[in-house]
Amino acid sequence: MGLVFGAIAPHGSIAVAEWCTPEQRPLAQKTRTAFEELGRRFDAAAPDATVLLTPHHVHVEGNLAVVVSGAMHGVLEGGASKVELYAPVDRPLARSILGALNEARIPVVAVSYGANDQVAAVTPMDWATQIPIHFMGGERVPIVMVAPARDLSWEMHVAAGRAIAKTAEASGKRVALIASCDHGHGHDAKGPYGFAPESKIFDDRVVELVKRNALAELMRFEPAFVAAAKADSFWQMLMLHGAIGGAWKPEFLSYEAPTYFGMLCAAFTPNTDHA
């Protein structure tokens, strides 16, 4: 029981074949193939619930956020077809994570949407939650969505990951942990964020850390460098590191930057040699 599967997964819509036009579909084929492999590994781990770390849901100043509504519903629009996903929320696990974060003195708030009865409430799902869940669990596996807070310290995010891992272990459930991460956003001068050479440098370093199972070295990065790289991944990776430490086996599956942002797929499994 406890954490049984981990992943770094991207959230570019171009990874979802149904969303793409025929012209767009080849853009992220490497990522799509790796995503499908993540899905197979997720299924093999047979989790009872998924904790999803997303940078694109609610932003609460000075606090992490945990969704406690009964369900989440997402819609990817703007592509060749609309792609929807409805996932139940594991509210007991969400509440336990909230308690553990509070106990660890990490600022956190519970969030819901719509109906005042949280069990009946359906919170909108951001694309950085929907796209990894599209490949890993779909509507079958209940989720807990956790949003980091970039105005909190890096150390707090690592501690939050540890609290999530301890909560998973105490839950008596098999839990997957997915860090939803798109990396540097400055790979293309024509992209919305312009060109930033730091984006490729950042992405290359992250790929190398994943391959070496050295996520702890993220803490050596300079804050100015992380900001210049325009990455949406750093804080979720810190939480993943806090949760799994170095006692898990990583497997790098893919990396590509076919447009202006970098996409990486990696799987993490418990290392029985450290058990």
Burial of 53 (0-12, 13-18, 19+ CB in 10 A): buried
Q: Please list, residue by residue across 146-159, b when 16 or more beta carbons sit within 10 angstroms of its beta carbon and e when fewer do.
A: bbbbeebebebbbb
Task: Domain count for the chain, please give it.
Answer: 1
Closest among 186, 254, 188, 244 to 218, alpha carbons compared: 244
CA 146 vs. chain centroid, Å, equals 9
pLDDT averages per 10-residue partition of the chain, 275 residues: 97 97 95 98 98 97 98 95 97 98 98 97 98 97 98 98 98 98 98 97 98 97 98 98 94 97 97 60
Pairing assessment for the beta strands 64-67 and 49-53 based on DSSP bridges: unpaired
What CATH number corresponds to the domain at position 111? 3.40.830.10
pLDDT of residue 273: 57
pLDDT of residue 275: 45
pLDDT of residue 147: 98
Largest distance between two CA atoms of the chain: 50
In angstroms, the Cα distances linking 253 to 8, 45, 238, 245 are 10, 17, 20, 20
CA angle 232–209–135, rounded 5-degree value: 55
Quickly count: other Cβ atoms within 10 Å of residue 239's Cβ: 26
Enter the tokens of residue 267.
């799987």
The residues with which 252 forms a beta bridge, in sequence order, are 266
Closest among 199, 232, 228 to 59, alpha carbons compared: 232
Is residue 142 within 8 A of residue 88, CB to CB? The reply is yes
Check: pTM over 0.85? Answer yes or no: yes
Quickly count: other Cβ atoms within 10 Å of residue 23's Cβ: 8
Pairing assessment for the beta strands 83-88 and 71-76 based on DSSP bridges: antiparallel
Q: Could you tell me how many residues make up the chain?
A: 275
Place of tokens 């105005």: 151
Q: Which residues contact 132 (CB under 8 A, 6 or more apart)?
A: 7, 9, 10, 11, 52, 178, 180
- pLDDT tens-digit readout, 173-229: 999 999 999 999 999 999 999 999 999 999 999 999 999 999 999 999 999 999 999
Enter the tokens of residue 273.
């040699």
Domain hosting 78: range is: 2-274
Direct distance between the N- and C-terminal alpha carbons of the chain, in angstroms, rounded to an integer: 13
